[in-house]
Amino acid sequence: MSRLPRRPLGEKLETLSQFYHRASDRLFIRRYSLEFDEFVPRESLVTGATDSLAHSYNYRPYSTFQLKSLLREAFRSGIPFQNFVDVGCGRGQPSLFARRHFPFAHVYGVDFSEPLIDAAKRNLHRTPYDNVSFVVADAAKWKVPDGNTIFFMFNPFDAVIMEEFLRLNLDHFVRYRSLIAYGFDKHRDTMCKLGFEIMYRSWRDEHSILRYAAAYSTR
């Protein structure tokens, strides 16, 4: 009888870590009766921002394990972050798990769909957290908050809205040591065209962390 090849120790440890974190996250979701998992096709999104809707993608939840991995990489920069902002937050899963696992002074979730924000607020009200805000806003027209911030995006829109969002808020990235944590980083080239640079990327998981290069060159 042939034996299966042995898996490297590092790979085994990573699998065990994923199992532990996912089990812990499921218990958290069950404890507070949180509702995150429903897929919403773009055609079913309800919003008054019709121009941005044409450039949006389907809503789907993001892996909490990958979120924590990505944010740990951001914190390795040594930047004292005040805020976490989830752009295209949907039902609020990344926002609430960022609040649960990391020391942000404030967490913001932004989405152009009022029904999704209403669902995020219902989830929030079931938890004990008091420094989380969910806002109905079109990213193409929304000015971001002050302070060193991690902006998280799980590919919520195409390159058109990405460019509008970044151009509107370039002054923030000049003034603060903020980073963009980008899950499924399909439009990272658009960011780089505007002066952002990749400081970390997982080729396997297709997520990255970017910073505004011009701001860091003067510090």
Q: Would you state the pLDDT for residue 16?
A: 60
Mean pLDDT along residues 51-57: 96
According to DSSP, residue 33 is labeled T
pTM above 0.95, yes or no: no
Confidence of residue 1 (pLDDT cuts 50, 70, 90): very low
Average pLDDT over residues 175-182: 97
Q: How many CB atoms lie within 10 A of CB 131?
A: 11
3-state helix, strand, coil in the chain (%, to 5): 40, 20, 35
In this prediction, residues 82-102 reach a mean pLDDT of: 97
Instruction: Give the pLDDT of residue 4.
Output: 40
Q: What is the pLDDT of residues 128-171, one digit of tens each?
A: 999 999 999 999 999 999 999 999 999 999 999 999 999 999 99
pLDDT digits (tens, 9 = 90+) for 99-113: 999 999 999 999 999
The C-alpha atoms of residue 179 and residue 77 are separated, in whole angstroms, by 10
